[in-house]
Amino acid sequence: MHKKAKKKVPIAIKIVLIVLVVVILFGGGLFAKMQYEQSVMTPLNTGEVISDIYAINNGFVNLYLVQNGDEYLMIDAGNDVQQTEAALGQLKIPADAIKAILLTHSDSDHTAALSLFPEAQIYLPALETQMIDGTTRRSPMGHNHLEQDYITLKDGEKISLLGLDVQCISTPGHTPGSMSFLLDGRYLFVGDNMRLREGKADTFNAFYNMDSDTQRESIRMLAVSTQPEYIFTGHYGYTDDADTTFKEWR
């Protein structure tokens, strides 16, 4: 009896299958890495942090609200619309009381809930526009997006919002256009421009940074050029001891 000849799998199909397996493995590894990086973050719980400053927790990231009378200035806009809306209800803060929003950068975990505030004026660092107009890609998969209208802010610019003096400080590294904001010379909001390790400043998770070396220079610049009473980060809480935070950077 003659044995039946085994059918050969076309080379093209083999290549497609190999590529598919590689993509699945890569995607799974990337997802696992993202989950780990987020698991080590230590954002604040939703609530009043200090007098007139509130944090909203979106799982692994904070956005902040600064109160002035019945109005609020928001720093960043969270990772999740539903969580942000629920937190505002918990804090008994109506969405239309948010009159202005300062974005430290354009990553989606800092912009996702912007749609909740159609009447708020949005401010974006001028150098960050490259991240949303396609000039600079956030990753091989694409660039950031921002559907809302916004006003751009330059390094060193000083503006007044809701009776608060805002100093704009360019702090590139996490993204090329990342910016920190110093309010009334007392409250420094750094977004993802650094993290806190046992109260000391350190670079943000390298996995998410676009240029950690540049970020080190940004942290050093903040250390020598500002004297805040409080420092608020996007993912690692806050501190009221800037001297300890910046000691090794000065």
* pLDDT at residue 21 tops 60: no
- Return the H-helix or E-strand segment holding 220: helix 212-225
Report yes or no: 100 and 74 within 8 Å, Cβ to Cβ: yes
pLDDT for res 88: 98
Q: For residue 7, what pLDDT band results from cuts at 50, 70 and 90?
A: low
Parallel, antiparallel or unpaired: strands 164-170 and 195-197: unpaired
125, β-bridge pairs? 153
For the segment 81-99, the average pLDDT, to the nearest whole number, is 98
Q: For the CA atoms of 141, 102, 207, 37, what is the dihedral angle to 10 degrees? A: -110
Higher pLDDT, 13 or 213: 213
The pLDDT tens digits of the residues spanning 115-152 come to 999 999 999 999 999 999 999 999 888 899 999 999 99
**Domains (ranges, CATH) in the chain?**
42-249 (3.60.15.10)
List of residues 6+ apart from 43 with CB closer than 8 A: 55, 57, 58, 59, 60, 61, 62, 234, 235, 236, 237
For the segment 163-177, the average pLDDT, to the nearest whole number, is 98
pTM of the shown model: 0.89
* pLDDT at residue 56 tops 70: yes
Nearest CA among 101, 93, 133 for reference residue 118: 101
pLDDT for res 25: 47
